[in-house]
Structure 1
Amino acid sequence: MNDTTWQGRTVLVTGAEGFIGSALVDELVALGAHVRALCHYKPYGAAGNLARYASDHRAELLAGDVRDPFVVDEAVAGVEVVFHLAALIGIPYSYTAPESYVQTNVVGSHAVVAACRRHGARMVHTSTSETYGSALRVPMDETHPAQPQSPYAASKIAADAMVLSYHASFGTEVAVCRPFNTYGPRQSARAVIPTILRQLAAGADEIRLGSTTPTRDFTHVSDTVAGFLTVGSSDAALGRAVNLGTGQEISIGALAELLIQVSGRDARVVVDEARLRPEASEVDRLLSDNGLARSLGWEPLTSLEDGLRDTWRWVLGTDEPGSTRYVV
């Protein structure tokens, strides 16, 4: 499957209502794909980030749960490529409810890859840079050891192994995208960048954070989406994990100062002990080696400063929700 266009293809996106998932749906629709969007069932029926597609034939909204193999089988039947983004995310909650992460992230991913095997669909599975834990060497390429420093990370390591085993065992077309700290419009306030920006937008003169010393490799959502599409159309990615990061790092403290600068507000950073992770669980450094992704034809195009300005405009509401155009 070397054709890099998506015109006329039928694809499934799980976790489609989420931050990255909804951006991916937007781009696939813009590129001419017919998209099935599987979202977690809600009894009140809200479509959230995908509300615009409620009466748009280009996207078919499905409600269900990836832990249910019957729902997943029906969703996968007849599609060419499955982008599997559905997951229980958020590190702090995984300390409280680790079994929930196993069920959604491991059992759910198995349901998806098993359905892909039955129906002959290609699967692009979503991993996370948290699987690497604190850097043992930098930059971190795909051979960096996995280190489960939280139940969340452990569940994603297990899910990665499960889906890749289907490629090795059965020849199922599987590739793994491993994003590094994606940020941008629509991201929930649980993440550090929208947390800081929302405090600034509310007029706070103190920005309350957990540890400010860890470093991260922040990737704008438009670049992450482009990476998913590159991996999804690349035969060379099959059976492999592919890092999607910029190859640049910044400490959380320096990031906060940059966000204050971007916002034009006057504030200072304060460490809030209630926001600190357990000491052994904190990932101190993440910095990607994106050489493999570049060899497939992908490169990050959005600078951190430009991406933060884009996110700040979204937080202020000066852009309509979802107005960002995600270009490959």
Structure 2
Amino acid sequence: MNMIKKILVTGADGFIGSHLTEELVRQGYDVKAFVYYNSFNSWGWLDNAPEDIIDKIEVFSGDVRDPFGVKEAMKGCDTVYHLAALIAIPYSYHSPATYVDTNINGTLNVVQAARELGVSKVVHTSTSEVYGTAQYVPIDEGHPLQGQSPYSASKIGADQIAMSYYLSFDTPIATIRPFNTYGPRQSARAVIPTIISQLASNKKDIKLGALYPTRDFNYVKDTVDGFIAIGESEKSVGEVINIGSNYEISIKETAELIGEAMNKEINIITDEERLRPSKSEVERLWADNQKAKKILNWVPNYGNREGFKKGIRETAEWFADPENLKQYKADVYNI
């Protein structure tokens, strides 16, 4: 049995956060889930969690932008996994201030509370988008940072705020930098669910943006394992660690693999509305995951082409369930 008494997960209502919360409960941790307060009393994806798991979670509704609520939620917690963030790149083009507010100020609230409360570990969530288009591959943690969208600029700011608290005040902070995570529950604004939900809704013509950028896709189970490994490792404090599969694939080839997995004919149509401004498009992402192997003994179970196909199959199966699919608007472009 692990020694950690209490864990807070911010963004526990989101895609990765809900998977992480459930897995922490399964592993015997005492988990408090920080979800975004709303008048519908929705706990996001945790509403779909199995009853035996929900019964063991303490849910705290709040807003990461509010320092008082954040500190209140963190009281009595040993470890904080900070995932709450705004993540959609297109939305950041027209509402950039909300990204600064949520991602930078939200992170400041978490690390300041951690400092004041003497929390024993904060795992701060970064993103591969902070690297921008690869200047060399595979991308290691020393790669230059480039804010190619207001979203990625806000995450660079958040990362630096988090690290500054480690350097200035010795607050025990580790930064996880996941590459493109996919899997059940992912928002339809992301490319893999976009393709799967359109195919599952029997659409023949699949609308996509740019087809030739490459990504390093990470199955959500691997990402969650990475989070937990960083949370448990004493060596991760003060470090930034990539969590990626070390396998690069284009969007076009990804769409073809999904068509194959779902036994569907696929005809791709480029939708102008889905294209990023040309200098903002991240053309290439490919993770160097040596540091995660060395420090955490973390290795992806869904790495390489075969692993990716397996992850795609599991994701497609989840989306094929009508109960799950009905939560998506396959004919609407989600920003």
Q: TM-score, normalised by structure 2?
A: 0.92
What is the aligned-residue identity percentage?
A: 50
Per the TM alignment, residue 318 of structure 1 is displaced from its structure 2 partner at its CA by 7.5
Quote the residue 1:22 is aligned against. Answer: 18
- 1:95 corresponds to: 93
TM-fit CA distance, 1:7 = 6.0
Q: Is the 8 A contact 1:53 1:61 kept in 2?
A: no
Contact 1:132–1:144, Cα closer than 8 Å, also in 2: yes
* CA offset digits 1:211-242 (Å, max 9, x no partner): 10000000000000000000111111111110
Per-residue deviation, 1:6: 3.7
The counterpart of 1:307, out of the listed 287, 306, 311, is 311
Secondary structure at the counterpart of residue 71 of structure 2: helix
Q: Give yes or no for the alignment of 1:46 onto 2:45.
A: no
Measured in 1, the distance between the counterparts of 2:130 and 2:167 equals: 20
Residue of structure 1 in register with 2:210 after alignment: 211
Displacement after TM superposition at 1:47 (Å): 2.1
User: Does the residue aligned with 1:284 lie in a helix, a strand or coil?
Assistant: coil
Q: Distance in 1 between matches of 2:129 and 2:165?
A: 22
Deviation at 1:119, TM superposition (A): 1.3
| 1:28-67 aligned within 5 A | 28-51=24-47, 52=49, 56-67=54-65
Cα distance in structure 1, aligned partners of 2:301 and 2:233: 20
Cα deviation, residue 207, structure 1 = 1.2
1:325 corresponding residue in structure 2:
none
Matched, 1:11 2:15: no
Aligned partner of residue 260 in structure 1, secondary structure: helix
Aligned residue pairs, count: 317
Indicate how the Cα distance of structure 1 residues 178 and 8 shifts in structure 2: closer, same or farther if over 3 A, else same: closer
**Distance across 2 between alignment mates of 1:78 and 1:317:** 39
Tell me if 1:297 matches 2:283.
no
Letter in 2 for 1:227: G
Answer whether contact 2:122 2:173 (CA < 8 A) is retained: yes
After superposing the two structures, state which structure 1 stretch, 253-262 or 51-60, moved more: 51-60
By how many angstroms is 1:39 displaced?
0.5
- Does structure 2 retain, via aligned residues, the 8 Å contact 1:47–1:54? no
Instruction: Measure, in 1, the Cα distance between the counterparts of 2:50 and 2:111.
Output: 26
Counterpart residue number, 2:331: none
Deviation at 1:8, TM superposition (A): 5.7
Stretches of structure 1 that go unaligned for 5 or more consecutive residues are 322-328
Following the alignment from structure 2 to structure 1, what is the Cα–Cα distance between the partners of residues 51 and 67? 25
Instruction: Report the Cα offset of residue 266 of structure 1.
Output: 1.1
For the aligned residue pairs, the C-alpha RMSD in angstroms reads 1.6
Matched, 1:142 2:146: no
**What is the TM-score when the length of structure 1 is the normalising length?**
0.94
SS at match of 2:31: strand
Deviations 1:68-111 (A, max 9, x none): 11101111111110000000110001010110000000000000
Letter of the aligned partner of 1:66 in structure 2?
Answer: V
Q: Tell whether the 8 Å contact from 1:16 to 1:38 is kept in structure 2 after alignment.
A: yes
Alignment partners' CA distance in 1, 2:315 and 2:5: 31
- After superposing the two structures, state which structure 1 stretch, 181-190 or 265-274, moved more: 265-274
Cα offset, 1:320, TM superposition: 7.7
Cα distance in structure 1, aligned partners of 2:70 and 2:291:
30
Residues 8-33 of structure 1 deviation map (CA, whole Å, 9 limit, x = unaligned): 62100000010000000000000011
| Structure 2 residue aligned with 1:268 | 267
Measure, in 2, the Cα distance between the counterparts of 1:281 and 1:220. 25
Distance 1:138 1:263 in 2: 31
Distance (whole Å) between structure 1 residues aligned to residue 123 and residue 237 of structure 2: 9
1:1-328 to 2 correspondences below 5 Å: 6=2, 9-51=5-47, 52=49, 56-121=54-119, 122-295=121-294, 296-302=296-302, 303-317=307-321
Tell me, yes or no, if the aligned pair for 1:54 and 1:61 is still in contact at 8 Å: no
Amino acid at match of 2:145: A
TM superposition outliers: structure 1 runs of 4+ over 6 Å: 318-321
**What is the alpha-carbon distance in structure 1 between the residues aligned to residue 8 and residue 61 of structure 2?**
13
C-alpha distance in structure 2 between counterparts of 1:289 and 1:82, whole Å:
26
